[in-house]
């Protein structure tokens, strides 16, 4: 038996499973302070107890961001669209760039 006949474990590491090549880009600090999240967290708990048991804080944040983006698009005529933002950042549009955590 040679080393080539030995069964090897499948490559399952994070880097081995990546579907898209790494794109070097500037990163912005996106951590939201815990104190700022106390109010929406309490609101999510309220809504969970009053008919929306599957609502998560992430769902609430995504909804709030969508509302803010729509308001900015009305307020600023040249506000970038989702496709423009994706093209600017990754060189692709929403049709070609999968959104891992998109809520539609």
pLDDT in tens, 32-87: 888 899 999 999 999 999 999 999 999 999 999 999 999 999 999 999 998 898 88
For residue 69, what pLDDT is reported?
A: 96
Q: Which two tokens stand for residue 41?
A: 């967290």
pTM metric for this prediction: 0.59
Q: What is the C-alpha to C-alpha distance for residues 13 and 11, in angstroms, rounded to an integer?
A: 6
Q: Which two tokens stand for residue 44?
A: 């999510």
For residue 44, what pLDDT is reported?
A: 97
* pLDDT higher at 31 or 17: 31
């Amino acid at each position: 038996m040679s080393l080539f006949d030995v069964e090897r474990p499948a490559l399952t590491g994070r880097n081995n499973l990546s579907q898209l090549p790494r794109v070097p880009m500037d990163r912005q600090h996106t951590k939201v302070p815990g104190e700022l999240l106390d109010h929406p967290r309490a609101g999510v708990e309220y809504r969970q107890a009053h008919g929306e048991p599957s609502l998560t804080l992430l769902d609430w944040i995504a909804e709030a961001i969508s509302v803010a983006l729509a308001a900015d698009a009305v307020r600023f005529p040249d506000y970038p669209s989702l496709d423009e933002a994706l093209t600017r950042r990754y060189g692709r549009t929403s049709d070609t760039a999968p959104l891992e955590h998109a809520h539609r």
